[in-house]
């Protein structure tokens, strides 16, 4: 359990008081696996990484950037984040993603902390959802504490089928055609991914955004 947890690096890069802290509660008997939905840029990755960093810092005996924290000892912290390739070895982005996922599934224990950021995104939608679904089921049986961010909203249905799987999302408010990221993790699933709105913020031509809508 972490109350008002913060990211020790990102916080230093912002104006004082600008970082939005978040609570975390994971339990092998209750919310063992958190499925986190919400748009890109909303703060899902920062949130998950700050949890991993808080656990690591606590286990090192370091100061933990939170108002309070009660943390179990973990044997390892596993992460599957980002997108990269290794073309010199003939490995695509998706192959590296699956290599990392395989290392997690084959080595994690019920004492591990696992961070999954957009698992299954490097292949077709149907295959990606199928892989992500099966991985979540496997980790739930393993009982490893897991944070899983995804744009596959289908995965939120697992909270109805599996014990100890809970849905969370990042709060977003819409102001006309614009979206405002509140950076706050709340219980429940996101209603949509806001991909087109994020594309507009990135500066895609208006004609492309209009066509996408």
pLDDT tens for 120-159 read: 888 888 999 999 999 999 999 999 999 999 999 999 999 9
DSSP bridge partners of 91: 86
Residue 111 has pLDDT above 80, yes or no: yes
Question: Residue 74 has what DSSP assignment?
Answer: -
pTM: 0.90
Give the full edge-to-edge strand order of the sheet including 33-37.
77-80, 113-117, 145-149, 33-37, 165-175, 178-187
Residue-wise pLDDT tens digits, 9-45? 999 999 999 999 999 999 987 789 999 999 888 899 9
| Whether pLDDT at 165 is above 90 | yes
Q: Taking the CB of residue 184, how many other CB atoms lie within 10 A of it?
A: 16
Beta carbons of 147 and 37 less than 8 angstroms apart: no
Burial status of residue 162 (CB atoms within 10 A of its CB: 0-12, 13-18, 19 or more): middle
Cα separation of 130 and 120, whole Å? 8
Across the beta sheet with 22-24, what order do the strands follow? 22-24, 2-5, 68-69
């Amino acid at each position: 359990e972490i109350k008002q947890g913060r990211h020790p690096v990102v916080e230093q890069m912002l104006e004082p008081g600008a970082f939005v802290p978040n609570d975390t509660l994971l339990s092998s008997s209750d919310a063992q696996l958190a499925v986190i939905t919400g748009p890109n840029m909303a703060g899902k990755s920062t949130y998950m990484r700050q949890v991993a960093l808080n656990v690591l810092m606590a286990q090192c005996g370091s100061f933990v950037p939170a108002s309070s924290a009660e943390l179990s000892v973990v044997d390892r912290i596993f992460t599957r984040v980002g997108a990269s390739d290794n073309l010199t070895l003939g490995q695509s982005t998706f192959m590296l993603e699956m290599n990392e996922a395989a290392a997690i599934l084959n080595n994690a224990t019920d004492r591990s902390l696992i961070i999954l950021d957009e698992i299954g995104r490097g292949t077709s939608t149907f295959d990606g959802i199928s892989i992500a679904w099966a991985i979540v089921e496997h980790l739930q049986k393993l009982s490893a504490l897991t944070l899983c961010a995804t744009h596959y909203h289908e995965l939120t249905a697992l909270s109805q089928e599996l014990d100890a799987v809970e849905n969370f999302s990042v709060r977003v408010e819409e102001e006309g055609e614009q979206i405002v990221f509140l950076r706050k993790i709340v219980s429940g699933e996101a209603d949509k991914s806001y991909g087109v709105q994020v594309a507009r913020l990135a500066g895609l031509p208006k004609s492309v955004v209009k066509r996408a809508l």
